[in-house]
Chains A and B, each alone.
Chain A
Amino acid sequence: MNEGRKEAIQIGFVIVALIFLVKLFSIQVLDKRYLELATSNAIIPVRDYAIRGLIKDRNGKILVYNTPEFDLLIIKKEVKNLDSAKFCQVFSKTPEELRKLFKDLRARREYSPVKPTIFLSQLSTLDFAKIQDHIDEFPGFIIQPRNTRAYTTKAMANALGYVSEISKSKLEKDEEHFYRQGDYIGQTGIEAYYEKYLRGRNGVRYKLRDVDGNDKGSFDKGAQDTLSIPGQDLTTTIDKDLQEYGEFLFKGKSGSIIAIEPESGEILAMVSGPSYDPILLTGRNYSANYKLISTDTNKPLFNRPLMAQYRPGSIFKIAQAMVALQEGVITPDTRVRCDRSIIGCHGPHSNEDLRGAITNSCNPYFHNVLRRMLNKGKSDNPFDDTRIGLEEWHKHMTSFGFGQPLGIDLPNEKKGLVPSPAFYDRAYRGRPWKFSNIYSIAIGEGENLVVPLQMANFAATVANRGYYITPHLVKSIGDSNKPLPQFQEKHYTTIDSANFRIAVDAMERVVEAGTGQFRAKLKDVIVCGKTGTVQNEPRPDHSVFIAFAPKVNPKIAVSVYVEYSGQGARAAAAMASLMIEKYLYGGTKRPQVEEYVLRGKFLD
C-alpha cells in the first residue's frame, strides 16, 4: 500500500537541501555584492538618537525642550597604549575612578570589545569643548551627541514627569526591542504616558574606519544608515502663567490645586505641593538628586492631585443633594430641623430648606437626606432596605466619576472610594449593617475617599450641568490638533440637568452669602463654590474648596486642597478665587487676599 512513499519523502528532503545549496552558491559565490557590503573589521554602528518631542503649554509657550549632552564611547579593541595620566587629566578623573570605569565596563550586559559602548555618559557642552581637542590622542574613544531634557519653568514637575535611563526590568519587557541599555525613557508624568509619541525613532549611522581607527566617512555612502525620526511635539492644556501663579501661591504648603476648563475637560493648571525643580532630575547629577528627592520626608515626588486620597468633606453635600433630588426623596423646599443631637453642626440656623442647608453646610440636614435615600421602605427588613438604597446611591455617585480612576493621561492615578454594599459586607465581615452604622458618609466623612482631581472634575460636571469630559493634559499630539479619542467623549451623569441647576444656585449662594462670602466672592463675576473642612484628628483640618466661574458659560472649574490648614473658607477658598481671577483677568484686584495666602497663617 505504501510503495514508494519512503522514496518520495527522501526525494523531497534532498530537493530542499539542493535548493539551499544552489541559493547559498548564488549569494556566496556568484553575487559579489555581499562581500562589498561587509568590509572586514571597518564598520562602526553609531547610534543616531532621535530628538525627543517638545512639550508646550496651551498657548504654544515651550515648557520642556532638549539640550545637547555628550557620551564618551569606547571600542575596547581599538584602545591602544592609553596614556592614563593624560586621560585622567582631560576627563578630570582620579586613577582610581578610571580603574573602576574599566571594571564596570566589563560587567555590563551588552559589553563587547568590538562594539562602541558607553564609557562616560552625560558630558555637558562645557566638558565637550575641553575634550574635543584631545579626543584624537585617545584611539578607541568616540564622542556621541545626544539630548537631555531642559525646562523653561520650575513648575509642574510632577505632571511633566522626568526622563532617565531605562531600567533593566523595563528593558526586558520591551517586546518591540526599541530600547537599548543606556537609552532614555519617560519615567513618570506626561513623559511616561506619551512616551510612544515623544520618543521618535532612533537611527544608526555606519561609519567606516580603517585598521588604525581613523574615520573614513560613512559606509556604503550612507545607504545603509537609518536616520532618526524626531518625536512628536505635545501641546498641553496647561496655561503656563496660571500654573506658575498656582505654584507661587502654594509655596511652603502641601496639597493641590487643579483647574479645569469645564466644557473641554482640559486641565489649565495642576499644582502639587511640595514639588521639586525638574532640572534636578536631568543630566549627570540625576542619581544623586533622585536619591535626595525620593527620600525627602515631604514627598515631593508624590503627585497629590491624583495620588492623595482624602475624605471629601462638606463639598460632597452638593453631590448628595443632587442624588437625593434625582431619587425624589426631597424637593428644593424640603425643610429639616437642625437637630444637633445626632451630628454636630456650625453657625446660627435652625430649620433650613435645601439651598439654606447647602449655604450653611448643615450636617443634620444631610444626615436626614441620606436616611431618606437609604431607607426608602422598599423592604421591611431595615438591613435589606439600606442595602437596596445604598446600591442606588452608589450607582449615582460613581456616575460622577467617584470611586474609580477617571483615566487622566498620567500614570498612577488613584481611584478613591465610594462605599458599596459589597464594601460594607467586607468591612463588617458578614455581620449585618444598616443606616445607623454608616451615616457619616452623609457629610463626606466616614469611608468616602476622593482624589483632588475627582473633586475638580466634579466642579466641572456641575459647571456643565450634567456631564464631564475626562480631564486631560495634552490637547494635541504632533499636528493632530486633537487630544486622544478618550478625551473627546462626554460622560453623562445619572442626574437630570434640572437638578444640576438647583445645585448651581445653591453654590452661588454659598459664595454670595454663605461660608464662601469673605474670601471667594469676586466683584466682576459670579463665582459658584462650596467649602469643605475635612476632619483630621488630632492634626488640624484640611481646607477644601471647589468652585467654578462664571455662573453662565463657565470658563474655569477649580478644586483646592490645602492640608492641615483649617476651615475651607480660609486657605482653599482664597486660593481658588485667586486662581479664577488670574485666569479670567490676568491678575488679582484683591492684594490683601493674595497677601493672606502668601503669609500662610491660616490657623490663627
Chain B
Amino acid sequence: MTSSFKKEDSIKTQRLDWVTIGIYITLVFLGWLNIYAVTYEENQTIFDTNLNSFRQLMFIIGALVIVSAILIIDRQFYETFAYFIYGFVLFILLLVPFIGKEVGGNRSWFGVGSFGLQPSEFAKFATALAVAKFVGTIGFRMDNLKNQLTLFGLIGAPILLILLQKDYGTAMVFLVFTIVYYREGMSPFLILMGIGAAAIFILTLLVANNYILFGCIGVLWLIAIYMNRRKKMKRLIFITAGAFSLALIITSVDFIFQHLEDHHQKRIMSMLNPDADPLGYGWNVTQSKIAIGSGRFFGKGFLEGTQTKFDFVPEQSTDFIFCTIGEEHGWIGSLFTIGLFMGLIFRVIFLAERQKHRFARAYGYAVACIFFFHFAVNIGMTIGLFPVIGIPLPFFSYGGSSLWAFTVLLFILVKLDAHRMQVLQRL
C-alpha cells in the first residue's frame, strides 16, 4: 500500500478542494486591500514599503510558502505527531512569560529584532489536532467520564497558559471546542449550561438589585414544584437544588465581577451600556458604530473612508478592521463579507462531514468552530453586540501571526480532505 501511496501523494494528484481554496484566496486578497485602505495616504501605492499593506503582502507570501509546505508534508504526519505538536506549542507558551518580548505591557510575543510571533495564535491548530486525535482514537467513547475530562483538560491547558499572558480574548477562543465535542456526541447539557451561566451573568449585571432576581427564582421554583407535585421526591429535590445553585451563581457574579481587572469590567459594562464609560471603551464602540453606520447601503467607496483614517476608530487595522469594510463598502460590503465567511464555514463543515475518518471530521469541525468564533466575536464587538475583546478577524486583521495560524489551520484540513479516499473508514 505504501508504495502506491508515494505516487499518489505528490501535489499534482491531490484532489484539492478548490472551493475552499478559492474562498481563502478571496478573503486574503480582500483583507490585503482593506489594510491598504486603512493606512492609505495620498500618492502612496499599495506596494509602498512604509505601509502596513506592504508588510501584509510579505506575510501573504509567507503564507503561500506555508501552504506549499503543508501540502507537501505527508498527510499522516498531522495525525501521527498531533500530540507532539500540541506538547511543543504548550511548552513554547510556558516559556513566553519568561523569554517573550513585551508588547503593550503583555508578554505574549516571541521576537527576533522587529519581527515577532505570537505563539498563542498557533495553539489553536495544535489543540485542534490533539482533540481530533483523541476523539479519533479507535474505541473512543464519548459517554466515558474519563474521556470527557481529558477533552476538557486538552482545552484547559492552553487556556490556562494563555490566561497567564493576560490575553483573555485568545483564551476564550478555546471554549468553542465544546461545539466540536457536542458534534462528536457530548451531551448538549454542558453547552446549554455555559450559555445559561453567561445569560445569568449579564442579567445580574443589568438588574442592579439581586433581590429581584432572587424573587424571580423563588416564583419559578414554586411553579416548577407545583407542576411536578405528583412526581417523585427525587425530582423535587433536584428542582430545589437547581434553584439554590442559581441563587448562588447570582451572588457570586458580583464577587467575580468586582475581582475582574478594571478594564475588563469597563468593557463588559460598556457593551451593556455604551454611555457607562463614554471616554473609554464605550467610545471605541460608539466610534466604530459611527464608522460602520456612515457607510450606508453602498458605502463611501474604496479608499474614500474618513472615519477609519482619523484616529476615530482605535486599532483600525487589527481588531476594528471591520469598520473599514462597513464604512467603505456599506451594507452590501458587509453582506458580502459575512457571506464569504459563512461560505467558508459551511464549506469546512461540508468537508468535515464527508470525511471517513473521525480524526479528520473532528479536526474539520474544530476549524469551522474556530473561524466562527473569531468571526462572531470580532464583528459582534465592532457593532456593539459583544464586549470589546481583542481577537482578530481572520485574514482581514493586520498581522503575520494570525494570518499564518489561520492558514495552517485551514490547509491541514484541505490536505486531509485531499486524501480522504485513501483512508479506511474509521468513524
A→B interface (CB under 8 Å): 1-2, 5-6, 9-10, 13-14, 16-17, 19-21, 23-25, 27-29, 31, 33-35, 37-38, 40-41, 43, 45, 77, 112-115, 172-173, 175, 226
Contact = CB atoms under 8 A, between A and B. Distances in A.
B396 to A, nearest CB: 15
Contact of B330 (A23, A28, A172): A28
Contacts of A35: 293-294, 296
A391 B345 CA distance: 70
Given A24-B292, A29-B331, A13 B342 contact: yes
Nearest to A173: B105
A45 B293 contact: no
A27 B179 CA distance: 31
Given A20-B338, A77-B42, A115-B311, A34 B183 contact: no
A499 to B, nearest CB: 47
Given A20-B379, A175-B105, A226-B279, 10 more contacts: A2-B183, A16-B376, A28-B330, A29-B297, A29-B331, A34-B293, A38-B293, A40-B300, A172-B102, A175-B104
A10, A20, A27: which has the most chain B beta carbons within 10 Å? A20
Contacts of A25: 331
What are the nearest 6 A-B pairs in CB distance? Answer: A34-B293, A38-B294, A175-B105, A27-B293, A28-B331, A37-B290
B57 interface: no
24 contacts: A2-B183, A2-B185, A9-B182, A17-B338, A17-B341, A17-B342, A20-B376, A20-B385, A24-B292, A24-B335, A27-B289, A28-B292, A28-B293, A31-B293, A34-B292, A34-B294, A35-B296, A38-B291, A38-B306, A41-B306, A45-B311, A112-B41, A114-B310, A172-B104
Contacts of A5: 182-183
B264 interface: no
Contacts of B338: 17, 20-21
A394 to B, nearest CB: 34
B346 A10 contact: yes
Given A23-B383, A38-B291, A114-B309, A9 B296 contact: no
A115 B182 CA distance: 50
A43 B291 CA distance: 13
B103 to A, nearest CB: 8
A502 to B, nearest CB: 52
Contacts of B62: none
B9 interface: no
Interface in B363-395: 365, 372, 376, 379-380, 383, 385
A33 B295 CA distance: 12
A45 B383 CA distance: 23
B184 interface: yes
Interface in B236-256: none
A369 B310 CA distance: 74
A34 B104 contact: no
B28 to A, nearest CB: 21
Nearest to A5: B183
A5 B191 CA distance: 13
Interface residues on B, range: 35 or more
Contacts, number: 110
A115 B334 CA distance: 27
A19 B386 CA distance: 12
B296 A28 contact: yes
B53 interface: no
A25 B295 CA distance: 11
B307 interface: yes
Interface in B307-323: 307, 309-312
A256 B380 CA distance: 61
A107 to B, nearest CB: 10
B170 to A, nearest CB: 18
A40 B104 CA distance: 32
B306 A40 contact: yes
Interface string B267-297: 0000000000001000000000111111111
B183 A45 contact: no
Contacts of B296: 28-29, 35
Contact of B179 (A9, A16, A29, A226): A9
A113 B41 contact: yes
A285 to B, nearest CB: 31
A168 to B, nearest CB: 13
A5, A17, A173: which has the most chain B beta carbons within 10 Å? A17
B200 interface: no
A222 to B, nearest CB: 14
A440 B11 CA distance: 82
Contacts of A45: 310-312
A263 B102 CA distance: 45
A28 B306 CA distance: 16
Contacts of A21: 334-335, 338
A342 to B, nearest CB: 52
B292 to A, nearest CB: 6
A35 B296 CA distance: 8
B79 interface: no
Given A9-B182, A112-B41, A114-B310, A24 B290 contact: no
B293 A23 contact: no
B349 interface: yes
A22 to B, nearest CB: 10
Given A24-B326, A25-B331, A38-B294, A6 B380 contact: no
A9 B183 contact: yes
